Amino acid sequence: MPAAYFHIGYPKSASTFMQRHVFARSGELNFYNYDDEVGNLIAVRPGSTRVSNFTEDERRAGLIRFVDEAERIGKTVVVSHESICLGNWMLTYDYIEESEVIYDRINGLLPNARIIVCFRPQFGWIGSWWRQHIKGHSTLSLPQFVETELWTQRILPKLRYDEVLRDLWSRFGKERVDVIFFQDLIRSETDFITNLCKLLGIEVPLSSPKPENKGLSQGLTLAKLHANRAYVTFADRFIKDAAKRGQLDRAYDRLWKRYLYQLDPLVPHIVKKRSIPTALRSELEMQFEESNKYLGEMMGIDISEKGFNISARR
């Protein structure tokens, strides 16, 4: 039995489903979110006094304590966060952790820990991730989103799954990296749970899954985008007026409360630019198809059965 499992993502790829219906529900696991104390022992968070004072010896001793406590009562530690694989960049965080640094720390502190990663077909993932940004108050259309520095430097390289898997294998060893696929959840929630439990070496939890929140629909996404933009315009004027009156602190407090409790009218306007430009999409299709082809070859499976397009054009 490994010392621990680390589920590293991807976001919008069954992470919440696994956390709710397997990791948190099984009596054979000690489940920790990455934001819990176990995650803090591994995290590299610049400027965070909560974790920056840990020495390597303190991190190692803390992790071993959690693992030993779990083993003493016959359980296994599972640490899960959907965005470890992306450098733990999240909408509400003001820091970025390099995923490679996190991997090296996991490997150094718990050299027999296993890694779980879930891959989802890229274009479905991109749309879902963009809608998550809108849900989190972004004002960028999809074409604007795929032109950002975040996209080009952080997101796009992580969608070449063959390179991601090759890197994980080189760091942890092929035998310590378990790949699962989002499409298997779409086909059958029951089979997905059964196979995940088999991977973890545990019994399937007794209670059946409840319907998941599937996120914003296309109509609500577009309405929320307009609501976000309207609010930003209002906030800009509001802050400028408050600065003139010397009441910035009060203004920020009022803005936050107004957004939380009064905004979200979700007026159903239409945004024309809600798809990736044709030229860019064609370029991405070729990149993803080639990557998917290699991913299937690396794993020895027909990757098209997992919902991935491999019909690369020559």
Is residue 292 a part of any domain in this protein?
no
Range of the domain at 233: 218-262
pTM: 0.76
The reply to whether 38 and 168 lie within a common domain is yes
The reply to whether 156 and 247 lie within a common domain is no
The reply to whether 187 and 50 lie within a common domain is yes
CB 102 within 8 A of CB 45: no
Higher-confidence residue of 154 and 287: namely: 287
**Phi-psi map region of 51: left, alpha, beta (phi>0 left; psi -120 to 50 alpha):** alpha
Is it the case that residue 75 has pLDDT exceeding 50?
yes
Is residue 301 a part of any domain in this protein?
no
Of these ranges, 42-46, 48-52, 299-303, the one predicted with the greatest mean pLDDT is: 299-303
Is it the case that residue 7 has pLDDT exceeding 60?
yes
* Average pLDDT, integer, range 183-187: 95
Is residue 37 a part of any domain in this protein?
yes
Residue 79 CA: distances (Å) to CA of 24, 30, 128, 179, 207 = 11, 9, 24, 16, 22
Is residue 22 a part of any domain in this protein?
yes
The reply to whether 35 and 72 lie within a common domain is yes
Residue in 164, 189, 159 with CA at minimum distance from that of residue 179: 164
Is residue 308 a part of any domain in this protein?
no
Q: Which residues touch 142 (CB under 8 Å, ≥6 apart)?
A: 126, 127, 130, 273, 274, 275, 276
The reply to whether 104 and 176 lie within a common domain is yes
Is it the case that residue 93 has pLDDT exceeding 60?
no
Would you state the pLDDT for residue 127?
A: 86
Is residue 281 a part of any domain in this protein?
no
The reply to whether 159 and 225 lie within a common domain is no
Is residue 208 a part of any domain in this protein?
no
Is it the case that residue 239 has pLDDT exceeding 80?
no
* Count of structural domains, the chain: 2
Is it the case that residue 311 has pLDDT exceeding 70?
no
Is it the case that residue 106 has pLDDT exceeding 50?
yes
55 CB neighbour count, 10 Å cutoff: 8
The reply to whether 49 and 92 lie within a common domain is yes
Is it the case that residue 150 has pLDDT exceeding 90?
no
Q: Which residues touch 124 (CB under 8 Å, ≥6 apart)?
A: 182, 307
* Average pLDDT, integer, range 281-301: 94
Hey, what are 51's tokens? Answer: 């974790």
Would you state the pLDDT for residue 266?
A: 34
CATH number at residue 128: 3.40.50.300
Would you state the pLDDT for residue 137?
A: 67
Is it the case that residue 231 has pLDDT exceeding 70?
no
